[in-house]
Amino acid sequence: MSALALGGCSSQLADMSAADAPAHPREPGAYLPVHDLPPDRDQAIIPPDQRARIEAELAAARDRQAVAVKDAK
């Protein structure tokens, strides 16, 4: 019963905001510019040698955990 009573107040509670918070617009704004993409990157985010090292470390950690799970059973 209380869930129904509080459910009716949820829209009023959602409209309440702190004094320093910006006001929410009542009408929805324009759509986000989904076709305005950033320019392509010229270089890889992670150099290939570092990527290979990270992948090897992750594979080793996965293998260690798989062995630990088998031993725990």
pTM, full prediction: 0.41
- Degrees, nearest 5: CA angle 51-54-56: 110
**Given pLDDT bands bounded at 50, 70 and 90, which one contains residue 68?**
very high
| 27 burial via Cβ count (<10 Å: 0-12, 13-18, 19+) | exposed
Taking a C-beta distance cutoff of 8 angstroms, is the pair 33, 27 a contact?
Answer: no
Q: How far apart are CA 39 and CA 33, in angstroms?
A: 15
pLDDT digits (tens, 9 = 90+) for 11-41: 555 556 566 666 666 666 667 678 888 888 8
CA end-to-end span of the chain: 47
